């Protein structure tokens, strides 16, 4: 079976149209979601926007500053200042939610295409791709290394600060003059930690050099065209929910909010043991498929779903590269793996991800010319054929 496309250039046209800064919370992000919404509306595909807030990098930096300041107040036994601050803050409704830097706001765009057969309880397919982008002045691998250093330093730092602060609160006989070495240690650790965090944000945060083509206008283009194809001819037995997520680059926040918001309702409405999710994150110079769950679990993300995708690709004569990285990339599929675990179901998860193309992303090199239109269309074809096959097998006793 070969998919005949009405417009073979549609996928790459979406990539070109979205080739601009789309960082979460920016005007570009809003422009991108309006573009996606207009594409869906033009085909009369129902959709809605789900808003959410999250802690942005500026707020993280400010909270670290608060922590350092609070530690010094405890260290110098200025507990009265802390008590005064929290007394004032929580005494009045106007000050209770006051913050020097507000939380960032973002949004997911969600569309649902109901199955032809409206059974009371049926399987569901969830297709996802993040539409936000991210830019940095540093190469991707150096950026990842810095974030890794940041994580292994900041966690012990917070733990030491917490333990030491609790000890000081319990030891009222302790004074700074009694232990200048501890004072010097806290002073140096606080300064070093703050400098590291500040440098990371200075070098990484809020630069606008990347067009975000591979990461992830490519994925958006796929699920946009899937939405149109599946709306023209819906699946017989499975609802299809298509989610354009945002704030993925700041910790998979959009997909996390979506999963948390729908955990209970999906468990009640759908047969999750027959359901699945496919995440599209980076279709560039080739077609990649993640094939490992986590660092400590070397089994396939989901052997059944991945095998279906591989079999389809083989039958269509399409080359597919399976990736089993030591550390799996941080993409939205991880939130759906957690969703499966929380629901204790056989909910299946797969992720298209061209891992070797990370050399382009988050930089000025992430341009539309690195997105091969044939690869985009082949992933579209693999997806449609696989979904229709799974759909036809979901109720094998019935003739479809």
Regarding whether 217 and 194 lie in a shared domain, the answer is no
* Nearest C-alpha neighbor of 192 from the set 166, 224, 160: 160
Residue 76 resides in a domain:
yes
pTM: 0.83
Regarding whether 189 and 219 lie in a shared domain, the answer is no
Regarding whether 239 and 161 lie in a shared domain, the answer is no
pLDDT at 201: 72
pLDDT per residue as tens digits for the range 175-226? 555 556 666 666 666 676 677 677 767 766 667 789 999 999 999 999 999 9
Regarding whether 51 and 197 lie in a shared domain, the answer is no
Regarding whether 214 and 310 lie in a shared domain, the answer is yes
Mean residue pLDDT across the chain: 84
Residue 162 resides in a domain:
yes
- pLDDT band for position 66 (50/70/90)? confident
pLDDT at 299: 45
Find the CATH number of the domain harbouring 118.
Answer: 3.40.630.10
Total domains in the chain come to 2
End position of a domain, from candidates 204, 239, 256 = 204
Regarding whether 251 and 123 lie in a shared domain, the answer is yes
* Percent of the chain whose predicted confidence (pLDDT) is above 70: 76
Regarding whether 308 and 281 lie in a shared domain, the answer is yes
Asked if 127 and 241 count as a contact pair (C-beta separation under 8 A), the reply is yes
Regarding whether 294 and 226 lie in a shared domain, the answer is yes
pLDDT per residue as tens digits for the range 320-338? 999 988 778 889 999 999 9
Across 45-59, 118-132, 241-255, least confident range: 45-59
For helices 218-232 and 10-17, angle between their N-to-C axes, nearest 10 degrees: 130
Regarding whether 332 and 190 lie in a shared domain, the answer is no
Regarding whether 271 and 173 lie in a shared domain, the answer is no
Q: The domain containing residue 192 runs over which residues?
A: 59-100+140-204
Regarding whether 364 and 338 lie in a shared domain, the answer is yes
Q: Which residues contact 164 (CB under 8 A, 6 or more apart)?
A: 71, 186
Task: Give the whole-angstrom CA distance, residue 368 versus residue 163.
Answer: 50
Question: Would you say residue 290 has pLDDT above 90?
Answer: yes
End position of a domain, from candidates 153, 182, 204 = 204
Across 5-14, 60-69, 338-347, least confident range: 60-69
């Amino acid at each position: 079976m070969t998919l005949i496309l009405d417009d073979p250039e549609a996928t790459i046209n979406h990539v070109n149209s979205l080739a601009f800064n789309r960082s979460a919370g920016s005007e570009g992000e809003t422009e991108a979601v309006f573009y996606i919404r207009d594409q869906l509306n033009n085909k009369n595909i129902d959709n809605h926007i789900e808003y959410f807030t999250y802690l942005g990098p500026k707020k993280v930096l400010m909270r670290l500053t608060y922590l350092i300041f609070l530690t010094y107040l405890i260290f110098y036994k200025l507990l009265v200042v802390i008590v005064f601050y929290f007394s004032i803050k929580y005494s009045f409704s106007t000050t209770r939610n006051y913050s020097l830097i507000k939380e960032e706001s973002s949004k997911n765009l969600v569309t649902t295409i109901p199955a032809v057969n409206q059974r009371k309880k049926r399987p569901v397919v969830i297709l996802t791709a993040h539409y936000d982008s991210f830019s940095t002045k540093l190469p991707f691998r150096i950026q990842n290394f810095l974030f890794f250093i940041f994580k292994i330093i900041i966690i012990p730092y917070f733990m030491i600060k917490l333990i030491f602060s609790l000890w000081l609160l319990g030891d009222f006989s302790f004074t700074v003059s009694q232990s200048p070495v501890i004072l010097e240690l806290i002073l140096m650790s606080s300064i070093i930690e703050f400098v590291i965090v500040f440098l990371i944000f200075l070098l990484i945060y809020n630069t606008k050099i990347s067009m975000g083509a591979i990461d992830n206008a490519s994925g958006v283009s796929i699920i946009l065209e899937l939405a149109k194809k599946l709306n023209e001819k819906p699946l017989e037995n499975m609802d299809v929910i298509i989610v354009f997520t945002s704030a993925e680059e700041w910790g998979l926040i959009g997909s996390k909010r979506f999963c948390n918001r729908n955990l209970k309702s999906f468990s009640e409405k759908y047969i999750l043991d027959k359901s699945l999710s496919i995440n599209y994150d980076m279709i560039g110079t080739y077609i990649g498929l993640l094939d490992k769950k986590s660092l400590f679990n070397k089994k396939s993300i989901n052997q059944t779903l991945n095998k279906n995708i591989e079999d389809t690709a083989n039958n269509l004569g399409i080359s597919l590269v399976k990736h089993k990285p030591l550390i799996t990339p941080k993409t939205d599929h991880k939130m759906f793996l957690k969703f499966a675990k929380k629901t204790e179901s056989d909910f299946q998860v797969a992720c298209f991800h061209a891992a070797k193309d990370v050399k382009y992303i988050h930089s000025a090199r992430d341009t539309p010319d690195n997105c091969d239109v044939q690869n985009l269309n082949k992933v579209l074809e693999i997806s449609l054929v696989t979904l229709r096959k799974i759909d036809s097998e979901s109720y094998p006793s019935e003739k479809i």
